[in-house]
């Protein structure tokens, strides 16, 4: 059985042949089971997905099902052409990236070079601002994008990031449209991801995935244990594991990050947030599945005046974490209270830094320590992050918690893609380095 990423790898090797992409996909899928449905609940908002926002946990988890990039990583970690036709072509002092012909979005819109240039510009205005700091704005020339730079490897690496996902002009996060293996739709109070027959790299193997927002941390486990859902988020059952279920763990799709703001006065200093996070014993938060335990530093707690810890109200997992953090770091006369507010208010406070403490999400922009540093630095100070991209430090493999010791934010823990699955569900790891690829996942029998 070959995954869609295996097919992509084969496609990269055949980039200069006369085979069309559909032919490659059809050949690669000879024995792959097609069909079946999945249902699951996650403690995150699901009615909008924006691949260009660093704080969008839903995009970090499910974005690969809806969106492609111009280049992508194959199973061996090598970069290959995806929506691009081939490697960048040197052209004097520039590089030309040709788009594949005949591309369409899931809603049937033509997708061309102008759309790709618009997607890059949109990413640059949002979460990709620093990641694209050394990539010039491309010139549209027919079906190509021309970049005034010569470092092809850096260009490919930048354009392979999920934060530079390709979306059509006029993209709307509450009605997301892309070229990926699945198509977004709303059904009742949830979302349905269905097979996209126009997908650039071929449609998903599954017929559909029904996705609902869980109102609390136990809703998914109850539904999975009772058999109404096919995946249990962060576990295999509420009271006991579902019979025959199997675990899955595809690593961290992002981090839960504590930010200090200007209202914290002298507590708003680089490294303070991470010291607070490092003083929290992992056992206090273990039920939230925050990843491997960290080395606990001397417990510092909160020493400023009584305050609120702002968190977005539509993310139950994040709200629960905010409550646990608040209870842990509070001290007499220095109490901290979790305060759920709208996503809009969180965005406004993040922009103005008009808060004392705030909890939010940061997604990685690519695998590896350097990309993790850029993502966290962008969330803290995009200008500083841009300088890091243009003058990269010598950096070994270090944990994200170490990186934020010079920032106004601290990593609390990981946002894991793990839990339990029905025995006939086969999940495939994402090519981005964390999370799963629903477009390549299968079920051995169809479910009506």
Domains located in the chain, CATH noted:
182-250+419-443 (no CATH), 252-416 (3.10.105.10)
Q: How sure is the predictor about 17, in pLDDT bands with cuts at 50, 70 and 90?
A: very low
Taking 80 as the threshold, does the pLDDT of residue 26 lie above it? no
pTM of the model: 0.90
Q: Percentage of the chain surpassing pLDDT 70?
A: 92
Q: Which pLDDT score is estimated for 31?
A: 62
Give the Cα separation of 33 and 253 in Å (integer).
27
Q: Are strands 307-312 and 357-362 parallel, antiparallel or unpaired?
A: parallel
Q: Chain-wide mean pLDDT for the chain?
A: 91
Q: Which pLDDT score is estimated for 297?
A: 84
**pLDDT tens-digit map of 239-264:** 999 999 999 999 999 999 999 999 99
Helices 21-28 and 4-13, packing angle to 10 deg: 130
b/e 352-379 (16+ beta carbons within 10 angstroms → b): ebebbbbbbbbbbbbeeebbbbbbbbbb
Q: Which pLDDT score is estimated for 215?
A: 95
**pLDDT tens-digit map of 62-101:** 999 999 999 999 888 899 999 999 999 999 999 999 999 9
Taking 60 as the threshold, does the pLDDT of residue 25 lie above it? no
**pLDDT tens-digit map of 346-391:** 999 999 999 999 999 999 999 999 999 999 999 999 999 999 999 9
Q: Which pLDDT score is estimated for 431?
A: 80
Taking 90 as the threshold, does the pLDDT of residue 196 lie above it? yes
**pLDDT tens-digit map of 291-338:** 999 999 887 799 999 999 999 999 999 999 999 999 999 999 999 999
Q: Which pLDDT score is estimated for 425?
A: 95
Give the Cα separation of 365 and 222 in Å (integer).
33
Q: How sure is the predictor about 23, in pLDDT bands with cuts at 50, 70 and 90?
A: very low
Taking 70 as the threshold, does the pLDDT of residue 237 lie above it? yes
Higher pLDDT, 26 or 194: 194
Q: Percentage of the chain surpassing pLDDT 90?
A: 85
Residue with tokens 């305050």: 307
What's the distance, Cα to Cα, between the start and end of the chain in Å? Answer: 24
| Listed range (9-13, 249-253, 402-406) with the worst mean pLDDT | 9-13
């Amino acid at each position: 059985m070959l995954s869609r990423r295996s097919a992509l790898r084969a496609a990269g090797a055949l980039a200069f042949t006369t085979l069309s992409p559909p032919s490659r996909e059809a050949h690669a899928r000879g024995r792959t089971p097609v069909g079946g449905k999945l249902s699951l609940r996650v403690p995150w908002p699901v009615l909008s997905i924006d691949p260009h926002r660093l704080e969008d946990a839903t995009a970090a988890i499910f974005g690969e099902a809806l969106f492609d990039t111009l280049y992508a990583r194959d199973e061996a970690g090598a970069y290959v052409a995806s929506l691009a036709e081939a490697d960048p072509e040197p052209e004097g002092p520039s590089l030309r990236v040709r788009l594949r012909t005949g591309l369409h979005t899931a809603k049937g819109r033509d997708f061309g070079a102008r759309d790709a240039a618009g997607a890059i510009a949109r990413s640059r205005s949002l979460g990709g601002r620093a990641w694209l700091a050394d990539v010039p704005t491309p010139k549209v020339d027919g079906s190509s994008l021309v970049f005034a730079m010569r470092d092809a490897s850096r260009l490919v690496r930048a354009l392979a990031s999920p934060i530079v996902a390709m979306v059509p002009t006029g993209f709307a996060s509450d009605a997301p449209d892309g070229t990926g293996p699945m198509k977004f739709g709303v059904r009742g109070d949830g979302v349905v991801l269905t097979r996209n027959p126009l997908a650039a790299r071929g449609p998903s193997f599954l017929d559909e995935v029904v996705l609902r927002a869980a109102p609390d941390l136990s809703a998914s486990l109850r539904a999975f244990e009772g058999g109404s859902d096919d995946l249990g988020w962060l576990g295999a059952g509420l009271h006991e594991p579902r019979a025959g279920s199997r675990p899955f763990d595809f690593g961290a799709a992002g981090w839960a990050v504590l930010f200090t703001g200007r209202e914290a006065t002298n507590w708003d200093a680089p490294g303070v947030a991470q010291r607070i996070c490092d003083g929290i014993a992992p056992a206090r938060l273990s039920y939230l599945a925050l990843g491997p335990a960290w080395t606990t530093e001397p417990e510092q707690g909160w020493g400023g005046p009584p305050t609120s810890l702002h968190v977005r109200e539509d993310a139950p997992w994040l709200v629960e974490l905010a409550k646990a953090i608040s209870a842990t770091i509070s001290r007499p006369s220095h109490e901290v209270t979790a305060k759920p507010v709208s996503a809009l208010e969180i965005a406004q406070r993040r922009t103005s830094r008009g808060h004392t403490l705030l909890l939010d999400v940061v997604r990685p922009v690519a695998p590896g320590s350097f990309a993790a540093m850029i993502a966290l630095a962008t969330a803290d100070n995009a200008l500083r992050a841009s300088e890091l991209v243009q003058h990269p430090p010598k950096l070994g493999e270090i944990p994200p918690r170490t990186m934020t010791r010079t920032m106004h934010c601290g990593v609390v823990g990981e946002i894991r893609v793990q839990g339990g699955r029905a025995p006939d569900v086969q999940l495939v790891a994402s090519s981005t380095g964390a999370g799963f690829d629903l477009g390549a996942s299968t079920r051995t029998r169809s479910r009506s």
